[in-house]
A = this chain, B = another copy of it.
Amino acid sequence: MNTNHTTRLCRSFQTAPAAVAKADTAKYLRSGLTAEGFEAPDWLVPDLEDGTAPSMKDAALENTIELLDEHEFAGEIWPRVEWSYDDARLRERGGEQIQSLVAEATESIDGVVVPKVGGVDDFRRVLTVLDDVTESAGVSSEAVGLAIILETARARSAVGDIARIGADSVLEAIVFGPVDYTAELGGRDLGDGRPRWDNVLEALSIETSANGLLSIGGPFDQLYTTRAGVTAYRADEYASQVEREAHLGLDGSWSLHPKQTVQANHVHMPRPAELDRAIDRIERATAALEDGTGAVAIDGQMIDEATIKNFRNAVSMVRTIDERAPAQTAAQYDDESLERARAIDISSP
């Protein structure tokens, strides 16, 4: 929920292996492209990288190009290609994958997701590849956006510089990749799981907000739990992670499953009570400011111009979702709240 990006929505960043060893190798990709309602991700990410086995990489690229051509998807499409700051072979394959996608699917994709980016030098290398590919394909250099996965120590160390340089480039989002990141740092699971790396999320929130970019949390890979013979989806645990991310100001969360997409889409939109409270506070505080009262106490809280900005954010977010996915806002809010959210003045005084 970045105020600089009310026009761009990425509550859910759902990766789908683009080819799996099943009768329908495009099973998961197809499922993502045809999802409806809250199951439809804001961004669908056909995965050509770690989620796809080495032997299936070619099929993955073919599936992506073919299915994107067949389906009309309401959200955005961002294939994840191969790359690594410390492996020239992977960078070469990533460059070829980008080239194929731009040549055969420019109209269908909004951008590409590049993993394992290193420091500033490697980030510039990614920008150069994108520039070269779009130039030789004869498309505008701005036709293909870039999202990078922050999952190396070098990228973490340089995230401020990368975001600043990225602000003047096609970079649109930074996504956290905790598994590779933990391996790079040598973090240990001593019985309580991987480190949560909340500080990385906070740094992402800061640097992307300072530079007009989107920030997306990392995947939650412990999807199910089995107890006494029954396997259950871990709904509470994933929702808690997404709530922590929303709390810190991240724009969206990574999803590995349609159920996770439903939850990410829900958490990253204001709850009904949150919207009503925001509208109420804006109205009462605006009235107080017009009376000549600078700061006003409402229910024991001191509210001034700064506080109201947070409430305006909530209303602005609801309006954006309302334009893109009116079925979701209709399901989430009652008619009266929605009408007030559409009508209230949220401009600065």
Contacts and interface: CB of A to CB of B under 8 A. Distances in A.
A246 B190 contact: yes
Q: How large is the interface on A (under 10, 10 to 19, 20 to 34, 35 or more residues)?
A: 35 or more
Given A189-B247, A226-B299, 6 more contacts: A20-B293, A183-B312, A186-B249, A187-B248, A195-B248, A195-B249
Nearest to A233: B300
A55 B292 contact: yes
- Most chain B beta carbons < 10 A, residue from A154, A219, A291: A154
A5 to B, nearest CB: 9
A324 interface: no
B56 A294 contact: yes
A223 interface: yes
Contacts of A1: 186, 188
Nearest to A234: B300
B305 A50 contact: yes
A47 B294 CA distance: 10
A interface secondary structure, majority = mixed
A184 B295 contact: no
Interface of A: 1-3, 17, 20-21, 47, 50-56, 119, 151-154, 156-157, 160, 163-164, 177, 179-180, 182-190, 192, 194-195, 199, 202, 205-207, 209-210, 219, 221-226, 231, 243, 246-251, 256, 267, 271, 274, 288-295, 297, 299-307, 309-310, 312-313, 349
A134 to B, nearest CB: 28
A163 B154 CA distance: 11
A184 B210 CA distance: 8
Contact of A180 (B222, B288, B306): B306
